[in-house]
Every structure is written in C-alpha cells, then in structure tokens.
Amino acid sequence: MTFLHQVLVVAVKDLRAEMRTKEAINASFAFALVVLLLFSFAFDPDSESSKEIAGGLLWIVFAFAGTLVLNRSFARELPNDCLDALVAAPIPGSALYLGKAIANYLLVMAMELVSLPVFSIFNNVTRPVTAQLWPIIGVLALGTWGLTVIGTIFSALTVNIRLREVMLPMLTYPIMVPALMSAMRLTTDLVAGKPFGPDDFTWLKMLVGFDVIYTAASVALVETVLVG
C-alpha cells in the first residue's frame, strides 16, 4: 500500500465516523452561524469601518468554529483505545497525521463554505464576495490548511490531557497568528473589492510559507508526539 493510499484510508475512516455521528460538524456549523448572526447585530453592515474589519471577523469565526472540529480529531480515538490500534498498525505516523489533517481540512472547509454566503448577506458584501469568489476561496483554502496542520498536531499532543478542550485553543492560537494575520488581511482586501497589490502578495507568501513550514515540521514531529 502506498503512502498516499494509507493517508486516504485514515482520512476516509475519520470522515465516515464523523458523518455517522456529526458531533464536530454540527457544533461547528451552529457556532459559526450564531456568531456571524451576532456580529451582524453588533456592527453596522453599511458602515465603512465594518467593511475594514470584515476579514478579521470572518477569520475569528473560522478559527473558533474550526477548533471544535480539530478538538475531536484525536479525541475520537479515545473511547475504545482506538489510537493504540492505529499506532500499532504498520503505517508511518506521518500517514496517520496527514490522513487526519485532510479529514479535518475537508470538515473545516465545509463549515467555511456554508458560513461564507451567510457572512456576505449579514454584512452586506454579497456583490464583492461574488466578484472575488475564487480568490476568496483560494485564501480560505490556504488559511484553513494552516489552521488544520497546527490544530491536528496539537490535537495529537493534547489527546491525553484532561482539559484538552481548553488546552488546544490556548496552545494553537498563538502559533496560528501569522496564518490568521495573512488570511485576515487578504480577505479584508478581497471583500473590499481592492485590486491585488504588492502588500497582498507579501501576505500571500507568508501564508504559503506558514503552510509549508508547519506541514513539514508536523510531519517530522508526529512520530515523537504519538510515541514519545
């Protein structure tokens, strides 16, 4: 079995288990929609200042709602000691990690793709979001991968901690700051309908660099995280 096949087997298993229980995805969808609704009441959608912080609001929602998915990633393996069986299987830790990261990525992206139209309606930015839809989806894809790689490795690290639901966001958010900053700035400019400038290119490079560096670091460290 090739490495890619091993990754896919783990990813399909996680997605199938989540689709049967819908524990993480339901909580994530509900949280994102409620917070977007509350933000629409808190900020005047027609004011210029609201548009300037639109990207920030959106990524705050994605980061918090995404954590609900990421928290379940390795915690799902706990009830019957399933993690033992996965660690004992003759697959590299990196295949296990990437399989879980891909499953988390697809779940978080699904939440974001449902939340995006809701956000654009509530914040009165439907026209610019429609006009810049593919660039926005590109930023979502890159930003979400950054959140997912960090969240998945820390989910493995905190899986045996009693207060993991608290510890995971405390550990991950500070590390996610560069990815969130880049994604927020790029999203804000795209939602405001601004053309892609040199500043945006710098933020994009930072986001891509973050994804590459943290993916490589997580793949290299996962065996140590799982076995010690």
Partner 1 sequence: MTAVSIEGVWKFYGDYPALRNIQLTAESGACLALIGRNGAGKTTLLRTIAGFSRPGKGSIKILGTEPRQTETRSKLGFIGHGISVYDELSALENLTLFAKLYNLPDPQKSALEWLERTGLERVRNGLVREFSRGMRQRLAVARAFLHEPSVLLLDEPFTALDDRAIAVLQRLLREALAAGKTIVMSTHQLREALELASHVALLNRGQVAFHGPCTPEMVADPGYVYARYGETS
- Give the CA distances from residue 77 to residues 10, 100, 164, in Å, rounded to whole numbers and listed in that order: 12, 11, 14
Which of residues 7 and 179 has its CB atom nearest to partner 1 in the complex?
Answer: 7
Q: Which two tokens stand for residue 65?
A: 């709602």
For residues 113 and 85, what is the distance between their CA atoms, to the nearest angstrom?
A: 34
Among 46, 48, 49, 79, binds partner 1 (CB under 8 A): 79
Among 41, 49, 90, 134, binds partner 1 (CB under 8 A): 90
Which of residues 52 and 84 has its CB atom nearest to partner 1 in the complex?
Answer: 84
Question: Which residues lie below 8 Å from residue 156, measured CB to CB, with a gap of 6+?
Answer: 73, 74, 97, 100, 222, 225, 226
Among 42, 85, 141, 177, binds partner 1 (CB under 8 A): 85
Does residue number 86 form part of the binding site for partner 1 (CB under 8 A)? Answer: yes
Specify the DSSP element, H or E, that contains 8: helix 3-21
Q: Which two tokens stand for residue 7?
A: 């990754």
**Taking a C-beta distance cutoff of 8 angstroms, is the pair 97, 6 a contact?**
no
**Taking a C-beta distance cutoff of 8 angstroms, is the pair 136, 116 a contact?**
yes
Kindly report the number of other CB atoms within 10 A of residue 49's CB atom. Answer: 9
Tell me the per-residue interface mask from 14 to 33 with partner 1, x by CB under 8 A, - otherwise. --xx--xx------------
For residues 167 and 56, what is the distance between their CA atoms, to the nearest angstrom?
A: 23
- The residue range among 75-83, 153-161, 185-193, 210-218 that interacts with partner 1, by the rule CB under 8 A, is 75-83
Does residue number 13 form part of the binding site for partner 1 (CB under 8 A)? Answer: yes
User: Taking CB under 8 A as the criterion, which residues in 185-224 touch partner 1?
Assistant: 223
Among 88, 134, 163, 174, binds partner 1 (CB under 8 A): 88
**Helices 3-21 and 93-122: angle between axes, nearest 10 degrees:** 50
Does residue number 163 form part of the binding site for partner 1 (CB under 8 A)? Answer: no
Among 1, 42, 141, 170, binds partner 1 (CB under 8 A): 1
Does residue number 162 form part of the binding site for partner 1 (CB under 8 A)? Answer: no
Does residue number 91 form part of the binding site for partner 1 (CB under 8 A)? Answer: yes
Could you list the residues that contact partner 1 (CB under 8 A)? 1, 5-6, 9, 13, 16-17, 20-21, 79-82, 84-92, 223, 227-228
